[in-house]
Amino acid sequence: MLEMNHISKSFGNLEVLKDISIQVDQGKVIVVIGPSGSGKTTLLRCLNVLERPEKGEVTIDDQTIDFSEKLDKKTIRELRKQTGMVFQNYNLFPHLSVIENIMEGPVTVQKIDKQQAREVAMRLLEKVGLGDKADVYPHQLSGGQQQRVGIARAMAIDPKVMLFDEPTSALDPELIGEVLQVMKDLAEEGMTMVVVTHEMNFAKDVADEVVFMDEGYIVERGAPVDVFENPKEERTKRFLNLIQ
């Protein structure tokens, strides 16, 4: 469903991703962990071409972008439509109501009929447990509720893959669980997901594969039970000792 092959990305002289390859099968959940600055966010942003790597390929479903070739805007747009991105700080539009936030992508990008977009948005809002909040504005919601709207919004374009960039790290501890539960539900329904998170219990419970990154490399990857209980690499051991 999703493949990243030999991706390298630099900012100036700083090489942030060094020949990264990952594959995610349909319906699987990959959790990416690693210290701050290791390249996790950049990896996600390359997956939906918010960043342009110098080298490598990204394939989503049957669409491939080869970054060593000249990029065609239409291909980028098409590929981006296959991914829903959830950001650390929700990135909701403050001047739009909750339902308008969710309808925005389908109506303006996909040119879907407003009434139809509203019905889909309502269904998604109910799915994330916020059916009664359609007409309020983001500032009237808790952080956890805003992030659940963020997830509904990312789902509204009917993506093939969902990308989560530290979706709970801006939340107060008591609000984290409700967001993780929505993500867990999505995983159980068979959504293909790449999740950058520091929530190790979520990784243990939900991930099919855990990828540990450090300094732009994938240091270790494997089933959660192997990476967490029996890490092979010293760097992984050190990181896990620090956070557990």
Q: Which residues bind ligand ADP (CB under 6 A)?
A: 11, 16, 34, 36-42
Q: State which residue, 99 or 164, has the beta carbon closest to ligand ADP.
A: 164
Q: What are the CA-CA distances from residue 130 to residues 122, 141, 155 (Å)?
A: 9, 10, 14
> Is there a contact between 114 and 125 (Cβ–Cβ < 8 Å)?
no
Q: State which residue, 40 or 148, has the beta carbon closest to ligand ADP.
A: 40
Residue 93 CB, nearest approach to ligand ADP (Å): 23
Q: How many CA atoms lie within 13 A of 30 on its CB side?
A: 25
Residue 135 CB, nearest approach to ligand ADP (Å): 35
Q: State which residue, 62 or 243, has the beta carbon closest to ligand ADP.
A: 243
Q: State which residue, 8 or 41, has the beta carbon closest to ligand ADP.
A: 41
Residue 167 CB, nearest approach to ligand ADP (Å): 13
Q: State which residue, 130 or 218, has the beta carbon closest to ligand ADP.
A: 218
The first and second tokens of residue 98, run together, are 């909750």
Position 80, amino acid: R
Q: State which residue, 36 or 241, has the beta carbon closest to ligand ADP.
A: 36
Residue 55 CB, nearest approach to ligand ADP (Å): 16
All residues at 6 or more sequence positions from 38 whose CB lies less than 8 Å from its CB, including other chains: 213, 214, 215, 216
The first and second tokens of residue 94, run together, are 């403050």
Tell how strand 161-165 and strand 83-86 pair up. parallel
Grouping H, G, I as helix, E, B as strand and the rest as coil, residue 22 is strand
Place of tokens 């009434």: 115
Q: What are the CA-CA distances from residue 89 to residues 123, 138, 142 (Å)?
A: 23, 12, 12
Residue 97 CB, nearest approach to ligand ADP (Å): 31
